[in-house]
């Protein structure tokens, strides 16, 4: 069961609001993602923020997207202070025009799109069995976790095709997408759908040189996981006991897997859902 970065701000944005249009510096000359332009959703905190910082350190010019501007601004400033190149766009993944505008903003800012990390997700703050999930909660999760991913993939493929020509995309799924989940049934069902969208996109766009993979994190020490631990003390310990490595992941560890899949070192890898779960899926 993964508890990766989640967007909880309820404000809606129908268009992407961005920082200045200047491109302050070229990408670093070396690094796993040297010379690439990367789009990262859910980049305000958790795994997404860790990925944004990592991708920039590895030489990418990054465009951060999420719904909470204060968080985006903070991460962008961290990257710039460390010598990286970063801009951001406030984006609501449940809104098609907002998604397209954020992806198009990447191309406007940097001239191309090479890679994308679709990490934004939404999970209920009150886990419970299926019969206790409100319909509105289900619909809200669907709008971001599955429809939002579909919208992002469509926009990213179009941008890669018309700018860089070839590229790579990584989607964040969950170890919960591999198995039944009695306390997060809607979330897990949609993460199973992420597996299917990932495989379908890999097959559809492989001939064009666009690779599409997913990662399936296990227990990860993000803000949402800490919230659930506060609500249900001991849940992290219980999950760790089911994990062969006997601990939760730091967001940076999960981001490393995404960086490799997006890099040229994974040039023959597509259609894969890579578990990053400390061995939980093997149990």
Q: Of these residues, 88, 110, 142, 187, which one is catalytic?
A: 187
Q: Assess contact for 40 and 51: CB atoms under 8 A.
A: yes
Q: Widest CA span of the chain, in angstroms?
A: 54
- The reply to whether 187 belongs to the active site is yes
To which H or E segment does residue 245 belong? none
Neighbours of 32 (CB within 10 A): 19
Q: Assess contact for 173 and 218: CB atoms under 8 A.
A: no
- How far apart, in whole angstroms, are the C-alpha atoms of residue 168 and residue 147? 20
Q: Assess contact for 67 and 11: CB atoms under 8 A.
A: yes
Q: Assess contact for 59 and 36: CB atoms under 8 A.
A: yes
The CA–CA distances, whole Å, from 149 to 8, 74, 119, 145 equal 17, 25, 9, 6
DSSP symbols for 200-242: HHHHHHGGGTEEEEEEEE-SB-SHHHHHHHHHSTTHHHHHHHT
Catalytic residues: 187
């Amino acid at each position: 069961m993964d508890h990766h970065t989640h967007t909880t701000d309820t404000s809606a944005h129908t268009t992407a609001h961005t920082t200045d249009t200047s491109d302050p510096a070229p990408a670093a000359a070396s690094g796993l993602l040297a010379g690439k332009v990367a789009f990262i959703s859910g980049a305000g905190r958790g795994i997404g923020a860790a990925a944004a910082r990592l991708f920039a350190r590895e030489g990418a010019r990054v465009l951060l997207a999420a719904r909470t501007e204060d968080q985006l601004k903070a991460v962008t400033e961290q990257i710039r202070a460390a010598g990286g190149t970063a801009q951001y766009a406030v984006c609501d993944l449940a809104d098609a025009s907002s998604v397209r505008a954020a992806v198009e903003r990447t191309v406007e800012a940097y001239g191309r799109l090479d890679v994308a990390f679709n990490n934004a997700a939404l999970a209920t703050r009150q886990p419970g069995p299926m019969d206790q999930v409100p319909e509105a909660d289900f619909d809200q999760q669907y709008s971001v976790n599955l429809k939002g991913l579909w919208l992002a993939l469509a926009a990213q493929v179009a941008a890669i095709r018309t700018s860089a020509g070839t590229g790579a995309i990584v989607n964040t799924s969950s170890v919960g997408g591999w198995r039944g989940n009695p306390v997060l049934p809607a979330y897990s069902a949609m993460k199973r759908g992420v597996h299917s969208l990932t495989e379908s996109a890999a097959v559809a766009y492989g001939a064009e040189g666009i690779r599409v993979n997913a990662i399936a994190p296990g227990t990860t020490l993000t803000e949402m996981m800490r919230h659930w631990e506060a609500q249900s003390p001991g849940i992290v310990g219980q999950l760790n006991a089911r994990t062969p490595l006997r601990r939760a992941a730091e967001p940076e560890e999960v981001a490393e897997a995404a960086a490799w899949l997006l890099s040229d070192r994974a040039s023959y890898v597509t259609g894969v859902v890579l578990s990053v779960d400390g061995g939980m899926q093997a149990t």
